[in-house]
Structure 1
Amino acid sequence: MLFQVGGQGSRPTFFEMAAAQQLPASLRAALAYSVGVFALRRPFFHKILDYEDEFFALLMLVLETHSLRTTDASFSESLYGLRRRTVNMASRKDKQKMDSKHLQLPGLRKRQKVLSVVFLVILPYLKSKLQSVYNKEREARLQASLLGDGLTLDDGESYIDQAEVSYAGISVVGLDASRITRIKKQLSAVIAACYPWIHASNEGLSFAYQLLYLLDATGFYNLGLHVLGVHVCRATGQEMMDSSSRISRIRSRERERLCGPPWLKAVQRLLLGCIYTTLDYAQTGLIAAVFFFKMMEWWYQSAEERMSAPTVFPPPPPPPRPKVAEGGIPLPPDRALCPLCSDKRVNPSVVAVSGFVFCYPCIFKYISQYKRCPVTLMPATAEQIRRLFHDL
């Protein structure tokens, strides 16, 4: 009964739709792992990992276009025996006659197929690129906050630009380069500020549609299907037979369009045959490759664990304690006392740059005023104060 949630008749269950939606992400992770295994022996495959988003988007573009053209379903939906059907709002008379809320028409229009490719390939690719830009900007901000130095990345880059301009003697090129760099930084900052809201809105809409689909309040599993006016339904035996005949008609028409001398037609037929065979076995081949590489990973990992015992290395020696500066505050003889107030520490906090522990109010006031550690006189900021919870 649990697996019938959200499914009535030709309508897929919630779990079928969730599995079909999660398949591309799982396939991408498995392909990335497979390419990483090959890259250990062939460094050429590292280039594929550098452009992982582009290669996966191109692969899914070919697979989704072929699947929508031949089966009226996405790549993952066709694997689960699902089909997309156009939904038109029926009139009141039609509702009374058919006793349904929607009138379903077989097949997809050309516009719906094109927009389906956009929702299945283009938008996930743009989301992945925005996610990478957001992660880079976040790492840069975190690194800048941890360094806490007066020299920032902007100062260094402007210094480099000025040096290049003075050395080359061409000020226009330097100004253009600095302007482009500034525009890129501003764009990255805008993306870093807007992406969390965009991601939260997208996830919220997805959750709302999935909840409504689970409660049988709507026939659309996500916003993309609602915009396209498409329902996902289980494929019947007749539809599968029609898909096979449609594929054969499309391929026969493509063979008839071949032109040129006989030898060129033979080469074109051979290439088309290879492409058709690759597309026919793409689903089975990709899924089989995923299971094969995961099985090999488990096999070699278990073999290595059996053959080699875990090696326990001794812990590294602690780093030397920072020395007290000449003008710094001397340390009290009792380690439980705060060097600033000479009383027992309250809310102990450590300065990350030096490692000395103080009372939180004392060290916060001192660093906010002098911007340095009171013992070592090393530059420090309030963000580099870490609370210690040794009593937990």
Structure 2
Amino acid sequence: MQSNLDNLGAVRVVARTPRSLAPILDAGATQTLRRLLHDTFASFFTKFLPDSPGGPKKYAHEVASLLHLYFTLVSLAKDGGTIGESLYWIARDNLVKPGQSQSLGDPEARRRFRRCVWAAAVHVAGPYLDARLAELRDVAEEELNVRRQVRAMEAEGSRQSPPRAMSGYTSPASVAGYEYSLPLSSDRIKELGLAAFVAIHPYAKLALGLRDVAARVAFSAGLSRASTLEHLLTGSRVRRLTGREAEGLRSDREARRSRALMEASSRGGGWPSWIKTKALRAKHLSEDWNKALLALVAVGCKGLEWWYSSGEEASKESRAEALDLPAPPRPSTERRLPKSSRLCPICRREKKDPAVLTASGFVFCYACVMSHVKDSGTCPVTDAPASEAHVRRLYFTS
């Protein structure tokens, strides 16, 4: 039996590459799989978590990372490698100790578990940080665009306004609204930081990607002990398992499970012992079917998301067909709307206390639109008749 396993392992290894290598394509597939898993879970939780003020939806990436962490931790403890690595019979040296289940004491088992937890955390942190930094970059880029538009509008307004006649006396009222700003105020420092982050982020991602590829090539050539940055941080060296090592891992796992079941059943009797034994058996079953369960959860998440999205689109189309709404009034050609929806069309600054004018559908600052409607009785953009009753404040949940 043992020789057959060795032959099987030799056939699998020789069919690809030497057993001491973690090939570039295999390592690349592992990195791609972890990003896909995180994106799948994060997209699902973003769609289905409650969207309430301070609700859990804004923590969708954190919840997705916890679910990803569970499956990764089970795979590391069971197979000595992550889910993607175990698909290619790749394991980590510091997690593979076959044939020592009888001599390993509790301290060694705890040290191995801590190594598994650290490796799983580093594995999951990669796609999580990537997603969060991408979101921050989008927010920073939008903030910078709004600031540029505000400055451009202010500069254009100052050029169009006629110069004030100068006199020898400067009234205090003429400078009442003037605020002195330092060259490096806190607002300016914040803007410079956002600009630096937006500019550096893509190059940092490119540098990390090139570094990862170079590390894989160096590892395959025997010039490095770590094939990726993840393995370098966890102090792990990966290699292919032989049939003997795979059988040793299986025997070690079965021995640990047998001891745990014996301890659970020997501690008294009755319902507590029965419940603990059944819970251990369920845990062992979930570990054995970890990959199948992960595939089922991932496919289920995408299926539910597709079903919900398609139903939502069909509902929107049916409601749109039932309503016979008139075409919205066209904006006046004499007025240019701000490029960013965050700016008020009247004051050309970020909207404060936003309010919608129901006569046209445009959103303004509440004070701006209320003052304009009281004075002119029309929409500032379309010149459609409007009154104070058409002004409705908007309240955002997040």
TM-score (normalised: structure 1): 0.52
2: CA distance, partners of 1:378 / 1:295: 46
1:203 aligns with 2:220: no
1:322 aligns with 2:327: no
| Number of residue pairs the alignment of both structures matches | 274
Aligned to 1:246: 252
1: CA distance, partners of 2:196 / 2:254: 47
1: CA distance, partners of 2:147 / 2:247: 61
Task: Tell me how far 1:199 sits from its aligned partner.
Answer: 3.7
1:222 aligns with 2:232: no
Q: Do the aligned partners of residues 12 and 196 (structure 1) sit closer, same or farther apart at CA in structure 2, a change above 3 Å counting?
A: closer
1:231 aligns with 2:237: yes
Q: Assess if the C-alpha contact under 8 Å between 1:130 and 1:191 holds in 2.
A: no
Aligned to 2:31: 21
1:140 aligns with 2:164: no
2: CA distance, partners of 1:199 / 1:47: 31
Answer 1 or 2: higher relative contact order, Cα 8 Å, separation at least 6: 2
Aligned to 2:73: 65
Identity, in percent, stands at: 22
Q: CA RMSD in A?
A: 5.0
2: CA distance, partners of 1:191 / 1:271: 52
Give the gaps of 5 or more residues in structure 1: 88-103, 151-180, 324-350, 355-376, 381-392
Aligned to 2:122: 119
Within 5 A, what are the aligned runs for 1:141-290? 141-148=144-151, 192=197, 198-213=204-219, 218=224, 220-258=226-264, 259=267, 262-290=270-298
Counterpart code for 2:18: G
2: CA distance, partners of 1:15 / 1:218: 17
Q: Do the aligned partners of residues 238 and 190 (structure 1) sit closer, same or farther apart at CA in structure 2, a change above 3 Å counting?
A: farther
2: CA distance, partners of 1:126 / 1:293: 22
1: CA distance, partners of 2:330 / 2:217: 53
The Cα offsets for residues 122-175 of structure 1, whole Å up to 9 and x where unpaired, read as: 45444544443343333222233334477xxxxxxxxxxxxxxxxxxxxxxxxx
2: CA distance, partners of 1:74 / 1:353: 50
2: CA distance, partners of 1:8 / 1:236: 13
Q: Do the aligned partners of residues 58 and 207 (structure 1) sit closer, same or farther apart at CA in structure 2, a change above 3 Å counting?
A: same
1: CA distance, partners of 2:133 / 2:39: 18
Q: Do the aligned partners of residues 295 and 251 (structure 1) sit closer, same or farther apart at CA in structure 2, a change above 3 Å counting?
A: same
2: CA distance, partners of 1:315 / 1:212: 63
The Cα offsets for residues 23-42 of structure 1, whole Å up to 9 and x where unpaired, read as: 11112233344456766xx8
Counterpart code for 2:241: A
Q: What's the secondary structure of 1:230's corresponding residue? A: coil
Which stretch shifts more, 265-274 or 255-264?
255-264
1: CA distance, partners of 2:253 / 2:22: 24
Q: What's the secondary structure of 1:51's corresponding residue? A: helix
1: CA distance, partners of 2:57 / 2:80: 31
TM-score (normalised: structure 2): 0.52
Q: Assess if the C-alpha contact under 8 Å between 1:86 and 1:106 holds in 2.
A: no
1: CA distance, partners of 2:306 / 2:115: 42
Which stretch shifts more, 17-26 or 217-226?
217-226
Task: Tell me how far 1:19 sits from its aligned partner.
Answer: 1.0
Within 5 A, what are the aligned runs for 1:82-121? 82-86=90-94, 110=112, 112-121=115-124
Task: Tell me how far 1:232 sits from its aligned partner.
Answer: 2.3
2: CA distance, partners of 1:285 / 1:15: 25
Q: What's the secondary structure of 2:93's corresponding residue? A: strand
1:31 aligns with 2:36: no
Q: Assess if the C-alpha contact under 8 Å between 1:12 and 1:234 holds in 2.
A: yes
Aligned to 1:91: none
Q: Assess if the C-alpha contact under 8 Å between 2:98 and 2:249 holds in 1.
A: no
Counterpart code for 1:321: T
Q: What's the secondary structure of 2:332's corresponding residue? A: coil
Aligned to 1:348: none
Q: Do the aligned partners of residues 212 and 37 (structure 1) sit closer, same or farther apart at CA in structure 2, a change above 3 Å counting?
A: same
Aligned to 2:18: 9
Q: Assess if the C-alpha contact under 8 Å between 1:210 and 1:222 holds in 2.
A: yes
Within 5 A, what are the aligned runs for 1:293-332? 319-322=331-334
The Cα offsets for residues 273-297 of structure 1, whole Å up to 9 and x where unpaired, read as: 3333233323112224444666788
Give the gaps of 5 or more residues in structure 2: 1-12, 100-107, 155-185, 340-345, 350-398
1:50 aligns with 2:44: no
Q: Assess if the C-alpha contact under 8 Å between 2:45 and 2:64 holds in 1.
A: no
